[in-house]
A and B are shown apart, each in its own frame.
Chain A
């Protein structure tokens, strides 16, 4: 229990540090939220800056931002001035989570079986095929994968719409395109993890004890091989669940991904800060969850549960 509290405390400190450095970095960038191609009259711009407290000294702006963040309110967005940052995050999160869960499912269902199959077929054609395929998927950027998928499945076969969040069919292509590179990574990781276990003591002694092949596979190969996968899956899930700029843009899905980049480019201080802090919190919590599951799997790890 105390270990868990210690980790949560560290996460809280990390969040404070991220909040402060994101605040400072955003203010260090040139230009401001109200700069547009057309300059505003001087008095109009002054009125706008005053309305959003940008005319106050930096420390008082920071305290205001911090106070809000502690209460879970990041203030109004500076680009979408009539919308609050929390509303934007709440609207976009379900889209990104749907996309992320779909992609995670694709990655797990394709990646782990492929990796295990490659491990058990080591040095045979199937292994080479899976290893080659995963290298290809990892090296091709996902907008290329997305482009090919759209031209084959939307315009060629007509199975799925090319973009837009209209119903579940619209999510199939984006989930697959987002999940494939992760599936490739999982395949490689699970292959090498499985090989390490297969070549170790466990399965051989189990075989010597006369246990059946399926028991050996699930208890003596799969379980120990899961540890490195879980360590990888924590941060990867956080990344998948918080959206992908490229995939969301290609498929015109209103998720969080684009906000990461656009909020900073628009100098939307409040939205950029809100999204950075929320992402850090999610990343921290999911990593914690992954560590906790690993501890459950392998009692030798530092216990987070007990």
Chain B
């Protein structure tokens, strides 16, 4: 039994997007590849072999023979073609539609070939994500999949129960017979259940308990860097942050290390947007103006400065620390304003803010998963920033097939983003998972990826 945080909202792999949905979908569905739970390198999954050519523009997969859905129906390469065409169709309304928008998919016997206009270096990794798992035509995707487990029952706000899927290609390896994913929204409750031995896993420990957990529960609690960043967005479309000098002054006044200390050293302070733990990544040098000293005088707009955040204890603490830092180094009082989540999102999207707290989680281990959100055409920029230099760099990186050349372009893009002070990085997120030492084969990793099919439960007498 595991605690799964927020309740599962959607069980369709092509439509679900929340972390708690995906945790369950990783048990019910499987892709052409699966990831090594330690370093997240793609390994063969439903495909026994895969390779790329033309600098990552073409990918071929060879399916394992005699694959079956969890209800015993046969599955072949055409099921992938149909599933992926459905995903790419805007009227199907998948949040991952853009992943395959420019893909041409072909099946030839057991071979599957995908062609992209631009290189997709991370495609093998993306194939392990539930969105790219095949979905059945003869049954509902909520009920039938190809994963290590199959659905037994689901009750909204209660639990999703799954059992071992006898038709899974790697069923001999699957050791857990069944898993109950419980909805436990309160982190304190999840911790109580964990301490009482009722659940073997909980996704988040409560903020207040972290120091004690570190001391007393080191075998179950080991904070691990995540592929996620928390930062401030500055609204460049109107005063006061349409002025580069004002943006830089605000960015320079933020002391990430002091913020991290104030938060009890639970997060990784950073001056970068792309997580510093990204494999094969070297961050660019910081802009020169970071080093300048002395007080810059900036003028407050008529209504004063305002900082917008979505209501939460942690966000309020962050806001208060930043408010203090800006008051000390700029002599400016920044008003704090909080809104509940949906109103906050609506204000951010509508550019009705000056500076706002933000975070981003990368879907795959590639710096572009972070950097492309500030392309002026991206719906996720929400800063009003239009910069032809930056857009050009992102487009160049998308077309570039040489990994080293691509890295250089992306590094330049991050340098540009930081130099223009469109955002102010604060910290990289850390996973606060509670994992029972009896859950064997569990590895904490950057993406919070869990392959439930490769975990085992150690009986009490073997401890």
Interface residues in chain A, defined as those with a beta carbon under 8 Å from any beta carbon in chain B:
29-32, 35-45, 47-48, 51, 77, 79-83, 87-88, 91-92, 95, 150, 154-155, 161-166, 249-252, 254-255, 258-259, 265-267
Contacts and interface: CB of A to CB of B under 8 A. Distances in A.
B67 interface: no
Contact of B349 (A35, A250, A252): A35
Interface string B394-413: 00000000000000000000
Which are the 7 A-B pairs with shortest beta-carbon distances?
Answer: A31-B342, A254-B158, A39-B379, A162-B192, A43-B90, A31-B346, A254-B157
B378 to A, nearest CB: 8
Given A30-B343, A155-B196, A252 B17 contact: no
B233 to A, nearest CB: 12
Residue among A39, A165, A252, A265 with the highest chain B CB neighbour number at 10 A: A252
Contact of A92 (B93, B97, B157, B343): B157
A31 B310 CA distance: 13
Contacts, number: 132
B156 A83 contact: yes
Interface in B64-78: none
Nearest to A91: B155
Interface in B178-223: 182-186, 188-190, 192-193, 195-196, 198
Given A44-B97, A252-B182, A31 B343 contact: yes
6 contacts: A38-B17, A88-B157, A91-B155, A252-B183, A252-B190, A258-B157
Point out which of A44, A255, A259 has the most chain B C-beta atoms below 10 A from its C-beta: A44
A32 B192 contact: no
B9 A80 contact: yes
Contacts of A43: 90-91
Contacts of B108: none
Most B-side CB within 10 Å, residue of A40, A77, A255:
A40
Given A44-B97, A155-B196, A265-B341, A80 B155 contact: no
Contact of B192 (A81, A91, A95, A163): A163
B264 interface: no
Contacts of A80: 9-10, 156
Nearest to B184: A252
Given A38-B17, A163-B192, A267 B186 contact: no
A258 B184 CA distance: 11
A42 to B, nearest CB: 7
Contacts of A38: 17, 95, 380
Contact of B158 (A36, A42, A165): A165
A267 B185 contact: no
A92 B184 CA distance: 15
Interface string B341-375: 11101110100000000011000000000000000
B228 to A, nearest CB: 11
Interface string B260-294: 00000000000000000000000000000000000
A40 B379 CA distance: 7
B98 A35 contact: no
B118 interface: no
A82 B90 contact: no
Interface of B: 9-12, 15, 17-18, 90-95, 97-98, 140, 142, 155-159, 182-186, 188-190, 192-193, 195-196, 198, 340-343, 345-347, 349, 359-360, 379-380, 382
A43 to B, nearest CB: 4
Given A44-B90, A163-B198, 13 more contacts: A35-B345, A40-B379, A43-B90, A51-B93, A82-B12, A82-B140, A91-B157, A161-B198, A162-B196, A163-B189, A164-B182, A164-B198, A252-B185
Nearest to A254: B158
B98 A41 contact: yes
Given A29-B342, A40-B95, A259-B157, A47 B192 contact: no
A35 B10 contact: no
Contacts of A92: 156-157
Nearest to A246: B186
B347 A30 contact: yes
B103 to A, nearest CB: 15
B203 to A, nearest CB: 14
A91 B342 contact: no
Contacts of A166: 198
A155 B188 CA distance: 14
B166 to A, nearest CB: 25
Nearest to B360: A37
Contact of A265 (B91, B98, B340): B340
A267 B342 CA distance: 8
Contact of B193 (A36, A44, A79, A162): A162
A254 B156 contact: yes
Contacts of B193: 161-164, 252
- Most A Cβ at <10 Å: residue of B158, B182, B340: B158
A289 to B, nearest CB: 28
Contacts of B95: 36, 38, 40, 44
Given A30-B347, A31-B342, A37-B345, A47 B189 contact: no
A82 B189 contact: no
Nearest to B18: A36
- Most A-side CB within 10 Å, residue of B12, B188, B342, B380: B342
Most A-side CB within 10 Å, residue of B10, B95, B183:
B95
Given A47-B91, A155-B196, A249-B189, A29 B343 contact: yes
Nearest to B344: A31
A31 B345 contact: yes
A43 B94 CA distance: 10
A266 B342 contact: yes
Contacts of B18: 36
Nearest to A147: B188
A39 B189 CA distance: 31
Contacts of B347: 30
Contact of B342 (A30, A51, A163): A30
Nearest to B140: A82
A82 B157 contact: no
Contact of A249 (B156, B182, B186, B341): B186
Nearest to B6: A262
A29 B97 CA distance: 28
A45 B17 CA distance: 14
A243 B277 CA distance: 45
